[in-house]
Amino acid sequence: MKELLHTVRLQINPSVYIKNPESTELGKKIMTEGINLIDKIGYEDFTFRKLGQKIGSPEASVYRYFQSKQKFLLYLTSWYWAWMDYRLEFAIANINSPNQKLERTINLLTERVTEDSNFTFMNIVKLSRIVFTESSKSYLNKEVDEQNKQGVYLGYKQLVGKASGIIMEVSPKYKYPNMLISTVIEGAHLQHFFAEHLPKLTNKTNGNDDVKKFYHELVLKTITANKK
């Protein structure tokens, strides 16, 4: 993707923050250093106190932006999904062939983010690593229904919905587009994690693009009608 010279402001559901961190310097420091810290020590060991020490502010100041570290994680993941949604729109703009749209969509959803975009102060490489490892924890808990009512997963749902729509363009009769897309997204995260930490659970051969290839093939074959 090309560098963008104009600034894009991503839309994040306000339910995940108290005060928009993009609106102040301190808020931006919280995001930048928060990402660094979670990427380094992991979500479990991450605390607002440690973050405060990094940015030279008391933890109480961090609490003025986010109710809890859960909400902070939700903010980061929401930001990521909004960014992906934006990238998806960009990637399929002016493309007419549904098949080509689908190919680009699957690429986007399954490939690793390795290059830093400088369109934002967010470190995207680190953020995407965080999302791959930690994002499922934001819904796999007992608060999921309550949080869902507040709308904290809207960004994720929107992206899944959009990608499912592209599946339907290619194969209008396919019954399970949402299942397929959420399987692909979460599966790709997992496979990248496994490749690094539990290789017995995956199949990385020589190279790099195995995950992408695997899900490409899987999606295309799955949505194509069989000649029984």
Partner DNA sequence: CAAATATGATAGTATTACTATTATATTTGC
Partner DNA sequence: GCAAATATAATAGTAATACTATCATATTTG
Q: Which residues contribute to the site for DNA (CB under 7 A)? A: 19, 24-27, 45-50, 56-61, 63-64, 67-70
Of 50 and 104, nearer to DNA (C-beta) is 50
Helix (H) or strand (E) holding 71: helix 69-92
> Terminal CA-to-CA distance of the chain, rounded, Å?
41
Tell me which stretch binds a second copy (CB under 8 A): 47-55, 89-97, 102-110, 205-213.
205-213
Nearest C-alpha neighbor of 17 from the set 35, 36, 8, 30: 30
What is the signed CA dihedral for 63, 65, 68, 69, rounded to 10 degrees?
-110
Q: Tokens 């402001």 — which residue?
A: 9
Which of 15, 32, 136, 150 is the binder for a second copy (CB under 8 A)? 136
Of 27 and 177, nearer to DNA (C-beta) is 27
Q: Tokens 């990608």 — which residue?
A: 163
Write out the two tokens for 25. Answer: 């310097």
Helix (H) or strand (E) holding 221: helix 210-223
Of 63 and 139, nearer to DNA (C-beta) is 63
Query: At closest approach, how far in Å is the CB of 22 from DNA?
Result: 12
d(CA 101, CA 84): 15
Query: At closest approach, how far in Å is the CB of 97 from a second copy?
Result: 18
Query: At closest approach, how far in Å is the CB of 210 from a second copy?
Result: 7
Total residues interacting with a second copy, rule: CB under 8 A: 51
Query: At closest approach, how far in Å is the CB of 24 from DNA?
Result: 4
**85: amino acid identity, one letter:** D
Write out the two tokens for 126. Answer: 């680190």
**Which of the residues 30 through 49 are near a second copy (CB under 8 A)?**
41-45
Of 7 and 205, nearer to a second copy (C-beta) is 205
> For residue 128, how many other CB atoms are within 10 A of its CB?
21
d(CA 22, CA 157): 23
Helix (H/G/I), strand (E/B), else coil: 179? helix
Tell me which stretch binds a second copy (CB under 8 A): 11-19, 86-94, 106-114, 150-158.
150-158
- What does 140 interact with, of DNA, a second copy, none (CB < 5 to 8 A by kind)? a second copy
**172: amino acid identity, one letter:** P
- Residues at the interface with a second copy (CB under 8 A): 41-45, 133-134, 136-137, 139-142, 144-145, 148, 153, 156-157, 160-161, 175-180, 182-183, 186-187, 190-191, 193-194, 197-198, 200-203, 205, 210-211, 214, 217-218, 221-222, 224, 226
